[in-house]
């Protein structure tokens, strides 16, 4: 860091001179470890590897709840009664459809557009058709938020089917959120086992306190912009491989680079020697096992055993050939990599390592991994947008300027 030679009065930051700014303020690069507000939504215990939504352990929610119930819990702050839950589920079902104009724009995008970009653009466009678009009250924000949660799977399933030249499957009015999601993607109703596993994936991704995308969402709504803009910002932020894009990145290195169990360790050694990050490991808050990784790992193992015993229909889209002719089971390779990273580097896996293997085993196309994360996280984003606006303070940190000041301006012809 260069020495700051300015004197008081020479600072020209927008808030005017500040002694602390000139006096070498502490820089919190990446905002590591900083608390920016208080929250009643999610608690992460990074030392002991625990995660709670509204005070309930996520493991217990996975064992007993559905995604819809968890979405209700996150957004309204309490578990629903029976009648509240039924009304909530009906509302989500009623809101599953998307306007024809949005389907038209999905069809008009280049075929190789990533699905997370499709989602980001479609959510932004969807605000134009929302009857509450210019109503910024809390009840209207909740209505808009629930429409977003309800419509995301439809957008994603439609995007998948358009990109793979398949006819669209209209949302079902009978299936749960997770079963309907799968149904719209594949045209088939899932088994109970599958529905439950998929539900757990959605629950595990539903919120994670002030992660980067949620921070984006809160920053956007803190300007009193609208909730669609908040969620559009969040999707753009989630897309990066250091955040939600990690699950797709895991799948890509497993399938395109590692391929075989015996190559896992040499591959990892090379990556680490080059000081490259291995996606699916490490976390800003967890310094031990990510509890979501533990939950998804168990489920992936169960499905893997079924696949080995021939009890699982191979749902992997294979274009006429079996992927396992060229690539070993992702779940097995994941175990080897995980063991190696913990033993040699003491770097623990995060949710993305195991969601990749599980989603692959469940037959979800890799291109849909990150969008699926976004669809789950939409419940958390909505909850955070509502919480931010309840007691809003514009989120606007500062950057310490370290360049020169009062440079002599030269006209263009003199440069
Ligand atoms: C998530 C992540 C961005 C957190 O980053 P962070 O809190 O800024 O921590 P850092 O990147 O500073 O990592 C601290 C140390 O661990 C190492 N490390 C962290 N994650 C690593 C990974 N996935 N592979 C290899 N080394 C890793 C760093 O190289 C660094 O080592 P150093 O101190 O010797 O330089 C980081 O762990 C990462 O890039 N992981 C891979 C992407 C991923 O899986 N993201 C999904 C998160 S849910």
pLDDT, residue 36, reads 95
351 lines ligand 1 (CB under 6 A): yes
Atom from ligand 1 closest to the CA of residue 271? 25
R_g (Cα) of the chain, nearest Å:
23
* Residue 369 pLDDT > 80: yes
User: Taking a C-beta distance cutoff of 8 angstroms, is the pair 205, 374 a contact?
Assistant: no
Q: Which of 283, 328, 360, 384 is catalytic?
A: 283
pLDDT, residue 370, reads 94
Query: Distance, CA 280 to ligand 1 centroid (Å)?
Result: 9
For the residues 29-36, what does the mean pLDDT come to? 95
Query: Distance, CA 30 to ligand 1 centroid (Å)?
Result: 12
Q: Which residue bears the tokens 């699926």?
A: 372
What percent of the chain has a predicted confidence (pLDDT) above 70? 91
What percent of the chain has a predicted confidence (pLDDT) above 90? 81
**pLDDT tens per residue across span 235-294:** 999 999 999 999 999 999 999 999 999 999 999 999 999 999 999 999 999 999 999 999
User: Taking a C-beta distance cutoff of 8 angstroms, is the pair 219, 392 a contact?
Assistant: no
Distance CA 24, CA 4 (A): 8
* Residue 11 pLDDT > 70: no
242 lines ligand 1 (CB under 6 A): yes
DSSP state of 80: P
* Residue 324 pLDDT > 70: no
Quick check: is 321 catalytic?
no
pLDDT, residue 1, reads 43
pLDDT band at 323 (very low <50, low <70, confident <90, very high): low
* Residue 315 pLDDT > 90: no
* Residue 390 pLDDT > 80: yes
**pLDDT tens per residue across span 159-202:** 999 999 999 999 999 999 999 999 999 898 988 988 999 999 99
pLDDT, residue 310, reads 72
Quick check: is 352 catalytic?
yes
pLDDT, residue 259, reads 94
Query: Distance, CA 351 to ligand 1 centroid (Å)?
Result: 14
Higher model confidence: residue 409 or residue 310? Answer: 409
Which residue segments constitute the domains of the chain, with CATH numbers given? 42-240+368-390 (1.10.580.10), 246-361 (1.10.230.10)
Distance CA 126, CA 123 (A): 5
373 lines ligand 1 (CB under 6 A): no
pLDDT, residue 326, reads 73
- Of 140-149, 250-259, 350-359, where does the model show the most confidence? 140-149
350 lines ligand 1 (CB under 6 A): yes
Atom from ligand 1 closest to the CA of residue 276? 25
Burial 203-233 (b: 16+ CB within 10 A, else e): bbbbbbbbbbbbbbbbbbbbeeebbbbbbbb
**pLDDT tens per residue across span 36-94:** 999 999 999 999 999 999 999 999 999 999 999 999 999 999 999 999 999 999 999 99
pLDDT, residue 17, reads 44
**pLDDT tens per residue across span 214-229:** 999 999 999 999 999 9
Sorted by sequence, the CB contacts under 8 Å of residue 313 that are 6+ apart come out as none
pLDDT, residue 357, reads 86
Query: Distance, CA 277 to ligand 1 centroid (Å)?
Result: 6
Q: Of 252, 352, 358, nearest to 305 (Cα)?
A: 358
């Amino acid at each position: 860091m260069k020495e700051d030679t300015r004197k008081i009065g020479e600072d020209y930051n927008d808030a005017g001179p500040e002694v602390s700014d000139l006096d070498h303020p502490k820089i919190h690069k990446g905002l590591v470890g900083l608390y920016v507000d208080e929250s009643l939504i999610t608690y992460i215990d990074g030392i002991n590897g625990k995660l709670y939504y509204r005070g309930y352990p996520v493991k217990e929610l996975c064992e007993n709840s559905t995604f819809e119930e968890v979405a209700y819990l996150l957004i309204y702050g309490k578990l629903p009664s029976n009648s509240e839950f039924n009304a909530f589920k009906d509302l989500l079902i009623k809101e599953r459809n998307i306007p024809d104009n949005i389907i038209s724009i999905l069809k008009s995008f280049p075929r190789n557009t990533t699905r997370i970009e499709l989602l980001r653009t479609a959510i932004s466009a969807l605000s134009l058709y929302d009857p509450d678009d210019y109503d910024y009250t809390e009840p209207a924000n909740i209505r808009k938020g629930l429409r977003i949660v309800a419509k995301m799977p439809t957008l994603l399933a439609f995007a998948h089917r358009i990109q793979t030249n398949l006819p669209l499957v209209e949302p079902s009015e009978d299936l749960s959120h997770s079963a309907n999601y799968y149904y719209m993607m594949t045209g088939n109703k899932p088994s109970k086992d599958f529905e439950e596993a998929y539900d757990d994936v959605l629950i595990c991704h539903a919120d994670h306190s002030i992660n980067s995308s949620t921070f984006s969402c809160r920053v956007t709504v803190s300007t009193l912009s609208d909730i669609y803009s908040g969620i559009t910002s969040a999707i753009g932020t989630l897309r990066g491989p250091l955040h939600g894009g990690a699950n797709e990145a895991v799948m890509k290195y497993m399938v395109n680079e590692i391929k075989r169990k015996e190559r896992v360790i040499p591959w990892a050694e090379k990556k680490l020697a080059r000081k490259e990050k291995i996606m699916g490991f490490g976390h800003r808050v967890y310094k031990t096992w990510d509890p979501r990784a533990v939950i998804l790992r168990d489920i992936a193992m169960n499905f893997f055993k079924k696949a080995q015993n021939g009890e699982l229909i191979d749902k992997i889209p294979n274009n006429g050939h079996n992927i396992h002719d060229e690539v070993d089971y992702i779940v097995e390779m994941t175990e080897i990599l995980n063991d190696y990273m913990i033993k040699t580097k003491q770097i623990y896996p995060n949710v993305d390592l195991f969601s990749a293997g599980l989603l692959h085993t469940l037959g979800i196309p890799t291109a849909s991994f990150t969008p699926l994360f976004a669809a789950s996280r939409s419940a958390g984003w909505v909850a955070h947008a509502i919480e931010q606006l309840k007691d809003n303070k514009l989120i606007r940190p500062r950057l310490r300027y370290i360049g020169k000041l009062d440079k002599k301006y030269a006209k263009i012809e003199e440069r």
